[in-house]
Amino acid sequence: MNVNYNRYVSLMRKISDINGSMAVLSWDQEVYMPAKGAEIRAQQVATLSGIAHELFVGNEVGDLLELLSKDDSLDVHQKKNISETLYDYTRRKKYSTEFVMKLSECTSQAFQAWSKAKNTSDFSLFAPHLKKVVQLKREECELLGYESHPYNALLDLYERGAKVADLDILFNDVKSQLLPFIKQIAEQPKIDSAFLFKHYDKDKQWAFGIDCLKQMNYDFESGRQDISSHPFTISFNPNDVRVTTRVNENDFREMIWSCIHEGGHALYEQGLKIENYGLPSGEAISLGIHESQSRLWENNVGRSLAYWKCNYPQLQTIFPDHFGKVSLADFYRAINMVEPSFIRTSADELTYHFHVMIRYEIEKSLIEGSIEVEDLPRIWNENYKKYLLIDVPSHKMGILQDVHWSHGGFGYFPTYSLGSFYAAQFFAKAKNHLPELEQMIEHGNFKPLLQWLRENIHQYGRFYTAEELCTKVTGEKLNFRHFMDYAKAKFSNIYNL
């Protein structure tokens, strides 16, 4: 028994307890908290942030890590936990407690301002708070240090090792390969999807979403689903992983894709080993890998013909007036219709990546200081016109649609596209290992796929980097070709190309 390592584990779990408590307050803030609780809640979250930060960067943790980093008696997994924690410690040591609390309080207030601004479609209510957040994120880049571009410092928080130079190449591939394919699709006859926008009872939608989560093997004894203005997944530990969705009674798509998407995130978190709670081995590798799990379930599975061969009869039973006379083929084509739209979370699989690219380019420019907060509505609308050929009708449908900036989540958006590209590569490999996967999905049997994901991705925590894991699972680094192969095979069939 290594006394020093046991002490390290104890300290890490104590810090996780504090972070978990803070996460509960954040979850409540977005789900149940009354409006008047916002000011004190921001203070409470800031206080806990400061406590967790001080404990983590304190001398006791630092001394233990220095000692254990030289301890050859540790096994390979223990050594990896120490090296990953030392990396986190070195980075967090660069933050002062004052800065951590200031950022926490600022983002808590910004969230409340964003919520009001979105409800009234008034960017001016959010802009002063966003300016403060942006300024703090610029300061954070300087605290952390970076090479070549300040935005690299923020990218690294979510996708370790990601660089502007690499993402520029990736999004240039999106422009040069995906955009021409979308234009080719746009020349085909438009698919009729009007039946998706009839009135769908909220409670019936909710019940169907719960059934979909259960079918995916989301464990409701270790989680729950609630309503929020922006769907999200939050984990307090693998035995308490919660998801939220939103229900639009006039757009069937919003609830179902939110449920499946967040369910994919939750399955990853529930698949981490509870015995590794508080340690890097009990944490997700990166946001890109995390997003690969949600996008794999949402798109590669949830938007597949096999999935709806299984689930469409139930949907027709629940909504006979809506789907009773709509064939499975027409339903499948409608839910996969490619058409530019305003809202990222309800965008189709292909145009989705231009939503992400626009946000990436805006964030990069904001952080480097070539644009300012006041410029955002204009630049946003210009880019939507340029890449998606649509005129944004309101701030609510445009610059205010995402919650991420109010949380200070700069550097987060690129992981959405990375996740889709990883998902296509992982799903292709899963089909190789499970030759009858499509038939399994047709029969509502998702356990083999989940087990494959558990064995190849979920169980490892942060033992591998995203690049190392991708290479281990698929035999190569992330390759955009897999996504294009998947997209062309699927949508060429749907659009008779």
The CATH number of the domain where 468 resides is what?
1.10.1370.30
Within-domain flag for 123: yes
The answer to whether the CB of 377 falls within 8 A of the CB of 398 is yes
- Separation CA 136–CA 370 (nearest Å): 16
Q: Which two tokens stand for residue 489?
A: 């095979």
Q: Are residues 107 and 230 in the same domain?
A: no
Count up the domains in the chain and report the number: 2
CA distances from 181 to 173, 186, 209 (A): 12, 9, 32
Within-domain flag for 191: yes
Within-domain flag for 152: no
The answer to whether the CB of 293 falls within 8 A of the CB of 243 is no
Q: Is the pLDDT of residue 101 over 90?
A: no
Q: Which of these three, 145, 174, 192, is where a domain ends? A: 145
Q: Is the pLDDT of residue 320 over 90?
A: yes
Q: Are residues 119 and 50 in the same domain?
A: yes
Q: Which two tokens stand for residue 1?
A: 């028994």
Supply angle C-alpha 259, 262, 266, rounded to 5: 125
Supply the mean pLDDT for the chain.
Answer: 95
DSSP conformational letter for 175: I
Which of helix, strand or coil describes residue 234? strand
Q: Are residues 204 and 247 in the same domain?
A: yes
- Separation CA 235–CA 253 (nearest Å): 25
Q: Are residues 131 and 264 in the same domain?
A: no
Return the bridge partners of 225, or none. 243
| Residues spanned by the domain of 331 | 164-494
* Mean pLDDT, rounded, for 215-223: 97
Q: Are residues 172 and 82 in the same domain?
A: no
Q: Which two tokens stand for residue 267?
A: 């399955």
* Mean pLDDT, rounded, for 26-53: 89
- Separation CA 74–CA 188 (nearest Å): 61
- Separation CA 452–CA 377 (nearest Å): 44
Q: Are residues 234 and 347 in the same domain?
A: yes
- Separation CA 441–CA 443 (nearest Å): 5
Which of helix, strand or coil describes residue 91? helix
The yes-or-no answer on residue 66 being catalytic is no
Q: Are residues 265 and 407 in the same domain?
A: yes
Q: Is the pLDDT of residue 182 over 80?
A: yes
Q: Which of 84, 105, 254, 262 is catalytic?
A: 262
Within-domain flag for 155: no
Q: Are residues 135 and 209 in the same domain?
A: no
Q: Are residues 185 and 301 in the same domain?
A: yes
Give the model's pLDDT for residue 229.
81
Q: Are residues 203 and 120 in the same domain?
A: no
Q: Which two tokens stand for residue 237?
A: 């530990």
Within-domain flag for 265: yes
Within-domain flag for 222: yes
Within-domain flag for 453: yes
- Separation CA 188–CA 403 (nearest Å): 35
Q: Are residues 28 and 90 in the same domain?
A: yes
Q: pTM of the predicted model, to two decimals?
A: 0.90
One-letter amino acid of 318: I
**Each residue's pLDDT tens digit, 459-488:** 999 999 999 999 999 999 999 999 999 999
Q: Are residues 126 and 169 in the same domain?
A: no
Within-domain flag for 150: no
Q: Which two tokens stand for residue 16?
A: 């996780």
Supply angle C-alpha 114, 118, 121, rounded to 5: 130
Q: Is the pLDDT of residue 50 over 90?
A: no
